[in-house]
């Protein structure tokens, strides 16, 4: 090969290597961008729950673990004592709440929530809001109505869940939805009930199967 031809060959090789290095770098940037887009798509989850005796709290803790979300309890400004929860007593707080109307949706009893402000702040940032409660007389407790009437769920995916001894979720979540601050963009999922505190495995499977 002549010297001039060799030089041309060398220059072309250098150019080719340069092009290969630059395109590899671009490739890395594209895959980094794709990875970032995937991370960005990760939903921001908040798990809200009201629990008088700890069962719903147990379910919420497992949902928090499964979703890697934030968990906040719905705190009654006036906490429910054991006597308040005695549904066998005609004069107890829960019986009076229950008897205030045909259903909690129709009642004007709305127990105050002491941490509503921080709940609102967390919900604002969230894409998905789990709302958990114990079943009381087949329905969500009145305080959960205070929540859905007081906190905007517009554009959010709402996942109701409950715990009970023998009743299921029933129409409790459907009734809550009728009073909730929602929009046409709110995705209100069917939700589910757990009899007692569910296992982590049960919760993981349920959460994995949800479409949001
Ligand atoms: C006032 C009141 C009403 C209840 N009504 C029902 C009911 O209708 N059906 C049912 O299966 N359990 C009922 N229960 C039981 C609770 O739903 C159950 O123990 C629940 O898991 C308690 O959740 P918590 O520990 O998070 O408060 C009732 C409990 C209370 C205090």
Q: How confident is the model at residue 36 (pLDDT cuts 50, 70, 90)?
A: very low
99-122 pLDDT per residue, tens: 999 999 999 999 999 999 999 999
- Which residues have CB under 8 Å from 41's CB, separation 6+? none
Tell me the backbone φ, ψ of residue 27, rounded to 5 degrees: -55, -45
**pLDDT, position 94:** 98
* Residue 114 DSSP SS3: coil
Q: What's the CATH number of domain 43-209, 3.40.109.10, 3.40.50.360, 3.40.50.1980, 2.60.120.10? A: 3.40.50.360
Q: Which of 32-36, 40-44, 72-76, 135-139 has the lowest mean pLDDT?
A: 32-36
Question: So where are the chain's domains?
Answer: 1-41, 43-209
Q: How confident is the model at residue 42 (pLDDT cuts 50, 70, 90)?
A: confident
**pLDDT, position 202:** 98
Ligand 1 pocket (Cβ < 6 Å) reads 51-57, 85, 87, 94, 134-138, 163-167
State in Å: Cα 13 to ligand 1 middle: 77
Mean pLDDT estimate for the chain: 89
Residue 163 near residue 196, CB atoms below 8 Å: yes
Ligand 1 atom with least separation from CA of 87:
1
State in Å: Cα 25 to ligand 1 middle: 60
Ligand 1 atom with least separation from CA of 50:
26
The residue whose C-alpha atom lies closest to atom 31 belonging to ligand 1 is: 85
Arithmetic mean of pLDDT, 156-162: 98
For ligand 1, mutation pick of 48, 53, 61, 134 (most atoms within 8 Å of CB): 134
57-102 pLDDT per residue, tens: 999 999 999 999 999 999 999 999 999 999 999 999 999 999 999 9
Q: Which residues of 22-53 are buried (b: 16+ CB within 10 A; e: fewer)?
A: eeeeeeeeeeeeeeeeeeeeeeebbbbbbbbe
């Amino acid at each position: 090969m002549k010297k001039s031809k060799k030089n041309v060959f060398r220059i072309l090789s250098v150019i080719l290597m340069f092009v290969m290095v630059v395109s590899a770098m671009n490739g890395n940037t594209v895959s980094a961008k794709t990875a970032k887009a995937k991370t960005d798509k990760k939903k921001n989850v908040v798990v809200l729950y009201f629990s008088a005796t700890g069962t719903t709290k147990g379910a919420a803790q497992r949902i928090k673990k499964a979703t890697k979300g934030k968990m906040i309890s719905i705190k009654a400004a006036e906490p429910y004592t054991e006597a308040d929860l005695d549904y066998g007593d005609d004069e107890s707080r829960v019986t009076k709440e229950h008897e205030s109307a045909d259903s909690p949706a129709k009642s004007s009893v709305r127990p105050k929530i002491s941490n509503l402000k921080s709940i609102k702040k967390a919900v604002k940032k969230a894409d998905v809001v789990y709302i958990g409660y114990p079943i009381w007389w087949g329905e969500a407790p009145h305080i959960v109505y205070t929540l859905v009437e007081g906190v905007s769920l517009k554009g959010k995916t709402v996942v109701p869940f409950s715990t009970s001894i023998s009743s299921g979720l029933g129409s409790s979540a459907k009734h809550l939805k009728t009073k909730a601050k929602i929009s046409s963009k709110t995705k209100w999922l069917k939700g589910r009930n757990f009899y007692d505190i569910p296992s982590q495995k049960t919760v993981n499977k349920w959460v994995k199967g949800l479409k949001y």
